[in-house]
Amino acid sequence: MTLHPDSLAVHAGRDDLAALGVHALPLELSSTNPLPDIELGGLSYEVLATGGHPFEGGSNVYARLWNPTVARFEEALARLEHAEESVAFSSGMAAMTAVLLALTHESQRRHVVAVRPLYGGTDHLLASGLLGVETTFCAPDAVASAVRDDTALVVLETPANPTLELVDIRAVVAAAGDVPVLVDNTFATPVLQHPLDLGAALSLHSATKYLGGHGDVVGGVVACDARLAAALRRTRAITGAIMHPLAAYLLHRGLATLPVRMRAQQEGARIVADWLTARPEVARVHFPGFAASDPDGLVGTQQSGPGAMIAIELTGGFAAASLLTSSVELFTHAVSLGSVDSLIQHPAALTHRPVASEAKPSDALVRLSIGLEDPADLIADLAQALTATADARENAETALA
């Protein structure tokens, strides 16, 4: 049976529950598992440690290698992403690290092309050279010229963090040629965008964000084909970066409401973004639902909706941004995004602090993650906070005069 995405979000990864005699997702916490005998135990270990799946009559051996709760979440996410498989990690950065290690080892190439802007942690990892990787950062239209004979991977994020710039995935895939392309799909989620359908080899999520949706779990996951998934599981087994089963349980449960949450948060973001455009304290509103933020018309073609993230640049610069983030009452001033409650943060000072100066976002830019509150309440909170920034600026100008 072919299911609508809303139905798939509820039922994916639960096919074995009836046979287990349960309705709700089980949580399996065993750190070690009984072995049928030495020979089968040893074979099970070898298969799992090299990226394979459990086999009938074998054992899951050890939680660093395999866990049924994690595997159910992986199956569910893979189906939502239109992927053969997915591999779950302890965090989004652990997932990105595993991709870099696996692909550079497999190809024996050490060069990566990265399209900026990117999440600050990813940018920092690539720029640091910590994993022995050399990175060329570029704009989307420069990918073809940046790719070399020793390029192992092209990395992009769309919508990009924090300015919400949209990148044409098909165009980058074409420019990359035979080099695999990874898309960070965290902001869009599988509800709005399917990178693998557009030619990307890997779709990565910080599962901490929209997939979990409640600000109470940390994790990362990569959707891809079976061959790449095996390489990622091998890397995960060696490095010990598997997702904890409690995190997988919470994330799998979160997937059931992901489509409903995304649509509701997206609609709230539309209303808030429209209101922000009329505020004199705001110099510019970045929101993919606006034509100015989507010059190539990717919303409606590549991405089915604009999402629930907004970035604003304030006329008062850093001082106004600082005052705004400290004056809100309903928004929580905190890093991260995608939760049911609304968050606000200053990327240049926080998530993008380690990024090179030429790629750092403006000091005047503030990022908003719109939650499930009534948009009127969010607008009222921003109104009183923006008024405070305007009053402070006016007082400062009066004092200088």
> Average pLDDT, stretch 196-221?
98
Q: Which positions are catalytic? A: 64, 119, 184, 209
Domains delineated in the chain: 5-28+67-255 (3.40.640.10), 259-400 (3.90.1150.10)
Task: Measure the CA–CA gap between 43 and 349, rounded to whole angstroms.
Answer: 50
Cα–Cα distances (Å) from 86 to 75, 108, 125, 183, in that order, read 7, 23, 22, 14
Return the pLDDT at 134.
98
Return the pLDDT at 1.
78
Q: Which two tokens stand for residue 158?
A: 């769309």
Given a contact cutoff of 8 angstroms between Cβ atoms, the answer to whether 387 and 157 are in contact is no
Q: Which two tokens stand for residue 335?
A: 């890093």
pLDDT band (50, 70, 90) for residue 359 = confident
Q: Please tell me the total number of residues recorded for the chain in this structure.
A: 401
Return the pLDDT at 389.
84
CB atoms within 10 A of CB 281: 20
Q: Could you report the per-residue pLDDT of 153-186, keeping only the tens digit for each?
A: 999 999 999 999 999 999 999 999 999 999 999 9
Which residue spans within 110-194 are E strands per DSSP?
A: 111-115, 134-138, 151-157, 181-184
Return the pLDDT at 401.
58
In this prediction the pTM is 0.96
Given a contact cutoff of 8 angstroms between Cβ atoms, the answer to whether 247 and 219 are in contact is yes
Task: Measure the CA–CA gap between 225 and 222, rounded to whole angstroms.
Answer: 10
Q: Could you report the per-residue pLDDT of 7-45, keeping only the tens digit for each?
A: 999 999 999 999 999 999 999 999 999 999 999 999 999
